[in-house]
Chain A
């Protein structure tokens, strides 16, 4: 009967209840949309950080991160490689040589990072702004070099011309060799376009005289929710002379930013709902004010105050629940439109400065969805309980006399 009473009371003032349900729905939809877009923005930054070559997990020889020279290199035995590859969570992996170098053209020279890569294993995501603007991408048998468009401009060179690459060899001497430019790439990240040049892995190993040794092993996973377990597993398999680190340990700033933004998202959600809660409290107070004699009657007839609190809270929670359902459905429809991302390349430079991709896509995790809905229900319960409790404390006689 309490539930029936709550349901019927809800529809006593249809306009007001519908308005409140709509307000809750819009607020919930706005919250979910905001969470999804913020999560998408964060994911964009994360993808840029992880997929612009680095990887979810990296392995280096001890001390490489303090001194990223060719002195700190390692070899992957085939057995350990097999072990790595058998892990179901690993989407793909790649070996790299990564050392500081200098490139020189006929007109200028520039300090860069030389990356010897396995091109087929390093898919460059065009959604992260990477594209070949002249020539072609590297392949494993390429003998040439791939450089960024900005670097080409600095060096006053172009596709097909030769540039000289100088770096420290494995023996400590100068390794120097001329390479023909086979491709020029463009990305939204200016620093990368100016500062990274690419050779096929074998070419770089030959230049440095390191046989099959590498500086870096990058692991990409399909599920980044349990990286710690994978990290531990890999560390055990690769041995103690290798440092296995997660992306948030390698780029601590990025890791901290992600955590901060995650927390910030839910602060926004709480603020939006707290604003809405004023309207909710007001609606319930109005409903109680209008029904004061009735509440007095129920109390006079022997209904316990707890039952009055239950009836009024239930009424409010039904209203919030309906708004919540409507808001979720609405948000799902809206977010479908943003699933493939919005092309923000017109402001790509600004996004690149923030480390984000020029494509902004909506991403809503199950945990985000659950947290938002649970937060709304908890806050709704709290904001409903207060006026309901006030009503339950009414003096039945005074309440009955208010007509």
Chain B
């Protein structure tokens, strides 16, 4: 595992409050995390503990009420919506809780879409998209639409899309949730390989305890706080 001391993500005193009428729920409560480049983190905890909220905040999708988040050299709170969108497009790969593929695009087009938005040359896009689909075991299924793929296959397309442009950070929210155990293990092995080979930083929010063995750091959250943070 290629770990260095360069911080990939720094969260300082990050708080997020959800308001529903007169009641308030503490989504994140003064969270401090330092994620080094090359870290592979399993973020666990019960439902409502703040895992997804933290991932969304790190991905620039949810604005914290207080505190600062820094991705590489970028402080999210000082960036505009457009700049955050640019950062997500070029540096962050997302795997969401549900499969979240564009239904009218084929597996290949779903993967190529991000690179086209990045403005990469067509030939490079084509080569990389085919290669990554082969790597996640979807060889020959390039032209299938999401509706023609199984749940596991769809999740693998989503993973391929997240990693195809070689992002510095991958945020995965329950990536194994709808997968059978064999496919889940294959997926985690893929994450592990990518982390070790390319030094991509992974933050994986999950309820699945099996994920722990594939990561080098385990963070447990409870009521919006970091309850424990252990490095393997």
Contacts and interface: CB of A to CB of B under 8 A. Distances in A.
Contacts of B149: none
12 contacts: A1-B109, A1-B116, A4-B109, A5-B105, A9-B104, A12-B103, A294-B103, A301-B94, A302-B117, A303-B85, A304-B82, A304-B86
B56 interface: yes
A42 B2 CA distance: 82
A305 B98 CA distance: 22
Contacts of B114: 301-302
A293 interface: yes
Q: Is the interface of B mostly helix, strand, loop or mixed?
A: helix
A270 interface: no
Contacts of B179: none
A299 interface: yes
Pairs of residues from A and B, 9 with the lowest C-beta to C-beta distance, nearest first: A302-B89, A8-B104, A302-B88, A1-B116, A297-B100, A302-B85, A396-B61, A304-B85, A397-B61
A157 to B, nearest CB: 83
Nearest to A302: B89
A300 B89 CA distance: 9
A222 interface: no
A303 B96 contact: no
Interface of A: 1, 4-5, 8-9, 12, 293-294, 297-305, 307, 396-397, 400, 403
Contacts of B102: 5, 294, 297-298
Interface string B128-143: 0000000000000000
B206 to A, nearest CB: 18
B80 to A, nearest CB: 11
Contacts of B113: 1, 301
Contacts of A305: 81-82, 85
B117 A297 contact: no
A28 to B, nearest CB: 27
Given A5-B105, A403-B98, A307 B117 contact: yes
Given A301-B94, A302-B85, A302-B117, A1 B112 contact: yes
Contact of A397 (B56, B89, B103, B116): B56
Interface in B73-96: 81-82, 85-90, 92, 94, 96
B45 interface: no
A9 B104 CA distance: 7
Nearest to B92: A302
A9 B114 CA distance: 18
Q: Which of A297, A302, A305, A403 has the largest number of chain B CB atoms within 10 A?
A: A302
B224 interface: no
A191 to B, nearest CB: 67
Contacts of A301: 88-89, 94, 113-114, 117, 161
Nearest to B52: A397
Contacts of A403: 98
A300 B116 CA distance: 16
B175 interface: no
B117 A300 contact: no
A299 to B, nearest CB: 7
Given A300-B88, A302-B88, A400 B96 contact: yes
Q: Which of B85, B86, B112 has the largest number of chain A CB atoms within 10 A?
A: B85
A8 B105 contact: yes
B170 to A, nearest CB: 13
Nearest to A307: B117
A300 B104 contact: no
B85 A299 contact: yes
Nearest to A10: B104
B103 A302 contact: no
Contacts of A302: 85-90, 92, 114, 117
A67 B92 CA distance: 89
Contacts of B104: 5, 8-9, 12
Contacts of B61: 300, 396-397
B50 interface: no
B84 to A, nearest CB: 9
Given A293-B100, A294-B103, A300 B109 contact: no
A384 B89 CA distance: 26
Interface string B45-69: 0000000000010010110000000
B90 A400 contact: no
A299 B100 CA distance: 12
A294 B99 CA distance: 11
B96 A300 contact: yes
